[in-house]
Amino acid sequence: MSGQQTDYAMLIASLSPHSMSLWDVKSKPVTRLHLERRLALLNNQDRQQLAEIETNLHWAKMSMENNDVEISIAAEHIIQSLDKPLLQEVIIWRMELRTIMAAIRRRKLGKDAPAKNERWGYGQVVPFIRKNWQIDDFSLSHRFAWVSHANTLFIENKSVELEKLL
């Protein structure tokens, strides 16, 4: 195992297991300070990629001026720049989840389906959403079993339950 691989193995081994639910956490998660110290084991390129991913995916680090188009373009840029398929898949999953939730929110606000030439979301879910705007789950439950339930919770303003679901 190379030095960099050893450093990365130490980094992963030092992290607490990720709980499937924030409401079921039995042990304290790692603090941001400790996480930053552990992330120092990453090489410069990986640290820069992580910072870029975090800037575009972590709500607290995103600019409030960013609109759906800018977020989508930034995500595509990040995904194309990565050479790690698993990391690409995680970002795609996150962006598609956001796209579905943005569509649910837009629909609740009484907006029409986005126009075919309008860039507003990300991923393979966009055409399904456009085509199936009036269907509760946008015909996506075969791939995302949670969509119909998320739609119901969103309509009923049950934000805590929705957060637990997501």
pLDDT, residue 126, reads 95
**What are the extents of the domains in the chain?**
1-42, 50-165
Rg from Cα positions in the chain: 18
What sign results for the dihedral spanned by CA atoms 137, 139, 141, 143? negative
Q: CA of 38: how far to CAs of 14, 121, 155, 159, in Å? A: 8, 34, 41, 33
Tokens 């309008």 sit on residue: 118
Q: How far apart are CA 80 and CA 113, in angstroms?
A: 28
Q: Where does 3-146 have alpha helices with state H? A: 3-14, 32-39, 44-57, 68-81, 85-108, 125-131
Query: Over its length of 166 residues, how does the chain's per-residue pLDDT go in tens digits?
Result: 566 667 777 777 777 666 656 666 677 777 888 888 888 888 888 888 888 888 777 766 666 666 777 888 888 998 998 888 888 998 999 999 999 999 999 999 999 999 988 888 899 999 999 999 999 999 999 999 999 999 999 999 999 999 888 8
Contact 78, 56 (CB under 8 A): yes
Q: How far apart are CA 55 and CA 50, in angstroms?
A: 8
